[in-house]
Structure 1
Amino acid sequence: MKYLRLTLRFSGDALHPVHEFIDRHDGVERDLLLHGNTATDGWDTFLFYVDGEREPYEAALESAEQVVDYDLTSLGDGSFYAYLKQEESSIDDQLFGLFSRTGIILVPPVEFVEGGRATLTALGDPEVLQSTLDDLPPEVSASVERIGEYDGRQAAFDPGLTDRQREAAAAAVDRGYYAVPRECGIEDVAAALDCSTGTAAEHLRKAERNVMCALVELRSF
């Protein structure tokens, strides 16, 4: 069973105001679309998992004209669920329609990241996967990051790292930050990331927290 790991890039009116907010604000580390229905009685409904600051995210929802109702549920660890009801969007309708075709399955979650991008996994018939990419609306472009045989066990351990946290962790491992004895300092990791030592240390602390929390939550632990 073939799968694609895709990055979609949204431009113009296709970019949702909340995801424009993510570009501007550092307080949101993860924004995951877990479930969604489009054009149900003229309304679209979505459920997101958000790791970040609730207040500025809620302010972004308040200012988004198409969002008519929402409900935020805090999880007590700096994260929350966001249930949105908004006016019907032709772009969302087209995308959900494309990824609901016979012969293709969209594997949640869809992660929205900086730069008007979304990363997702789709699996199914290779011809249908290709035709789906060919039929994307002009406001949305796609790049294929990975292709191969699908194995759902790949998602069994998901520490939920952001792109920047993964970069920091990779740089630390590559340079021997976690070697025993340690072969480099946080200054070397910061230099690899082209950021301050404080920022590099913060990325690593959050990555380590997420990895250990995900490990403990594994049923087989």
Structure 2
Amino acid sequence: MLRYATLSLSLPDGVREPTFDLFDDSPAVSTTATRYLGPTENGRHVGLSDVCGDLAVARDLLESDDDVLQYNVAGTDGRGVVYAHHRSVGPIKELLDILYRHDIVLEWPIDHRGRERDSAVQFTIVGTDEGIHRATTEIPDVVDVTVERVGGVESKAEAEPTLTDPQAALLDLAVEKGYYEVPRRTTQRALADHLDVAPGTVGDRLQRIERRVMTAYADRGDDW
């Protein structure tokens, strides 16, 4: 049977994964999603990520990181895209190898859950029962993985649009504070201050929430 599993992945203190945690120590810039990550030659990886915040700081951090071999940052107004080649120094290489070895499909993008959560990233994989079982049992002990949801692909296609924990928390807060009322009773900056995140992070997450919900609504048509 073809199944899907949504997983949350985090790394313990002291274990570094440059493709995911490069900006974690900076309050000025953060990664919101990884659009793609894949191997290149000599065990290296190339990635494409969405970032928000001070793009000049992002460039400085990329430039000063010895594990970043090549990079390019594009964007304006506090939102951008980072294209970068990394050395495979973290556990991500082993994780990707496990997925490829068992013919597991990784759905993009990978959502970054933010500094206010213990889990670093959340992603969904699709494969056979046997393939997913074998892949999850081979995940190295250094990686903390939590299974958030699992089910048949048919049930996934029919399910209501789901949000990550940070997205759900933000949506609840936005509704509670009157962000969607007319006229609005709060701002993105006020929501960001309440959650102790950058305003750009709130703006990006609200866009992702609205896109996910409205896309599901449009796909359902008269069924809603």
Answer yes or no: same fold by TM over 0.5: yes
Q: Deviations along 1:14-61, whole A, 9 cap, x unmatched?
A: 423574454333334543221222252343211112233212222221
Q: In structure 2, what is the equivalent of residue 133 of structure 1?
A: 136
CA distance in 1, matches of 2:104, 2:54: 35
- The equivalent residue for 1:44 is 45
Normalized against structure 2, the TM-score is what? 0.69
TM-score, normalised to structure 1's length? Answer: 0.70
Does 1:144 find its partner at 2:147? yes
The range that moved more, 9-18 or 45-54, is 9-18
The 1-side partners of 2:86 and 2:182 are apart by 54
Matched, 1:214 2:211: yes
CA distance in 2, matches of 1:68, 1:203: 27
Unpaired runs of at least 5, structure 1? 187-195
Moved over 4 A (4+): 17-21, 152-155, 161-165, 175-182, 201-205
Task: Work out whether residues 48 and 81 of structure 2, in 8 Å CA contact, stay in contact via their aligned partners in 1.
Answer: yes
Q: 1:118 aligns with which of 118, 121, 133?
A: 121
The total of aligned residue pairs comes to 203
Relative distance call for 1:83 and 1:197 in structure 2 (3 A) is closer
Deviation at 1:154, TM superposition (A): 6.8
What are the residue-to-residue correspondences of 1:11-160 with 2, within 5 Å? Answer: 11=12, 14-17=15-18, 19-28=20-29, 30-74=31-75, 76-89=76-89, 91-112=91-112, 113-114=114-115, 115=118, 117-150=120-153, 151=156
Q: CA deviation at 1:93?
A: 1.9
Distance of 2:37 and 2:7 partners within structure 1: 19
Query: Helix, strand or coil for the counterpart of 2:150?
Result: strand
Say which of 172, 181, 199 aligns to 2:193.
199
CA distance in 2, matches of 1:102, 1:11: 26
Q: Tell me which protein shows more strand as a share of its residues.
A: 1
Superimposed CA distance per residue, residues 111-132 of structure 1 (whole angstroms, 9 cap, x where no aligned partner): 2333462111011112221221
The amino acid across from 1:167 in the alignment is A
Q: Is the contact between residue 5 and residue 125 of structure 2 (CA under 8 Å) also seen in structure 1? A: yes
1:81-127 deviation digits (Å, cap 9, x = unpaired): 11111223362221111121344211111223334621110111122
Aligned alpha-carbon RMSD (Å): 4.0
**Structure 1 residues 152, 67: CA separation in 2 closer, same or farther (over 3 Å shift)?**
farther
**Contact between 2:18 and 2:90, CA under 8 Å: does it hold in 1?**
no
Unaligned 5+ residue runs, structure 2?
220-224
* Distance apart, 1:136 and its partner CA: 0.9
Q: Relative to 1, partners in 2 of residues 1:16 and 1:133: Cα closer, same or farther, differing over 3 Å? A: same
Tell me the secondary structure at the aligned position of residue 169 of structure 2. Answer: helix
Question: Retained in 2: the 8 A contact 1:168–1:200?
Answer: no
Q: Distance in 1 between matches of 2:201 and 2:88?
A: 40
Question: In 2, are the aligned partners of 1:165 and 1:206 still within 8 Å (CA)?
Answer: no
1:106-164 residue CA offsets vs partner (Å, 9 max, x unmatched): 11112233346211101111222122111111221200111123335879x89xx8854
Counterpart of 1:146, as a letter, is R
